[in-house]
Structure 1
């Protein structure tokens, strides 16, 4: 019996360390600290410096071929007017081309085709917002009869968003200091920072009360306004 016990003891001592039971690690308990979660939003205000519009031509004719031909001729003049105004080729992009039959409806009769409608539109990006109005007028003069927009945006959005992120952290810190002071504690450090919304930039929000009117001679006026680019962060602080 004694020999068997010794053999078992020897085998047990020869087991690898991985097979031996190890007591789980226990996270230290912060008995003198408090966690505080703060959600804060920061913003950076910019005057939009890019205007994007959609301009096109709608043509109607008894036949599909005639509608497309007329539409192509007028659209060629529209694009030429854009290039003449100094809009770069990279800022002109075909947005949509459509050809649809037009119907006449009568009671108790099937719809009858009366002609065709052809449409062609381009998305145009203006890097000089002040010239947008005069260019729109030139487009109409060259046959454009469909205009949508403008969509105003900020070219250097990344730099503005970084400014908004910095502002968000500053606001979060100030709020944490307020809570800590009210609780008779102090902010020890930041434990974690999470930017809400993933990688998608926040949508710009126009501030029309501070709009700046852009007008060239008697051209179509365009109010550039201002936009707030926003960033939201969730910050966890350690208070002591």
Structure 2
């Protein structure tokens, strides 16, 4: 009897000092973004050669000669083989669709093309390299991108800023709605964080080196947070 009375008293005492627990009434989902700007230290440029000729062999030979000159120029500039890649080698007929005696289009020549993508790590030399490639016969420039060679530390900083942005937004919305923000239910990263390279279109060739300006590269990250909403 004594033990039962003591147990009841203990339970009553425990209930008397226990806090009032808040109840979950819903969820709040918020998104956040973070970005970091950095001065690029790497340029990626795509140059190529295209040639038209009456025969397939002539078109391919002309394209190969220009491509060989591009590769030799890049080697002379000190660019390593790991930073040079050829791609998109193609050979296509050139059709004449003008009406003929039998109303059939006919092949009047061939067009060959090849592309070289190169990473330039010495940005001070970039303008001179582009100018030399154009002088060597490159007649295609697919675009110029400025980026960073080691983006991961910067992307991590962008992730931290994205989480802080989402948390601040959740607190603002909860306060405006007059509710209490509870625990974090889930956190997910949205999209694939990556550098957002600055782009440059077809460059201008002049007697001097091709003028370029790298500016800054933006690195972005996004997150989605889900919180409990509590009511006391």
Q: Give the TM-score band, short-chain normalised.
A: 0.7 to 0.9
Q: Does 1:231 align with 2:221?
A: yes
Cα distance, 1:180 vs. partner? 4.1
SS of 1:119's partner is strand
Match of 1:69 in 2: 61
Match of 2:203 in 1: none
Q: Does 1:86 align with 2:78?
A: yes
Tell me, in whole angstroms, the C-alpha distance in 2 between the residues paired with 1:176 and 1:102. Answer: 60
Tell me, in whole angstroms, the C-alpha distance in 2 between the residues paired with 1:98 and 1:148. Answer: 15
Contact 2:39–2:217 (CA<8 Å) still a contact in 1? yes
Q: Does 1:218 align with 2:212?
A: no
Q: 1:68-126: per-residue Cα shift (whole Å, max 9, x none)?
A: 22322222111000111111101111111112222334324433333322222111111
Contact 1:207–1:228 (CA<8 Å) still a contact in 2? no
Cα RMSD (Å) of the superposition? Answer: 2.8
Cα distance, 1:232 vs. partner? 1.4
Match of 2:160 in 1: 166
State the aligned residue count: 202
Taking structure 1 as reference, are residues 207 and 171 closer, same or farther at Cα in structure 2, changes over 3 Å only?
A: farther
Calculate the TM-score normalised by the size of structure 1: 0.72
Match of 2:7 in 1: none
Tell me, in whole angstroms, the C-alpha distance in 2 between the residues paired with 1:104 and 1:184. Answer: 73
Match of 1:151 in 2: 145
Match of 2:88 in 1: 96
Contact 2:146–2:197 (CA<8 Å) still a contact in 1? no
Tell me, in whole angstroms, the C-alpha distance in 1 between the residues paired with 2:99 and 2:39. Answer: 55
Match of 1:134 in 2: 128
Taking structure 1 as reference, are residues 117 and 175 closer, same or farther at Cα in structure 2, changes over 3 Å only?
A: closer
Match of 1:212 in 2: none
Q: 1:6-61: per-residue Cα shift (whole Å, max 9, x none)?
A: xxxxxxxxxxxxxxxxxxxxxxx952776432211111112232222221222233
Which segments of 5 or more consecutive residues in structure 1 lack a partner in the other structure?
1-28, 209-216
Q: Which structure has the greater CA radius of gyration? A: 1
Tell me, in whole angstroms, the C-alpha distance in 2 between the residues paired with 1:157 and 1:234. Answer: 22
Tell me, in whole angstroms, the C-alpha distance in 1 between the residues paired with 2:60 and 2:170. Answer: 65
Calculate the TM-score normalised by the size of structure 2: 0.74
Which segments of 5 or more consecutive residues in structure 2 lack a partner in the other structure?
1-20, 201-206
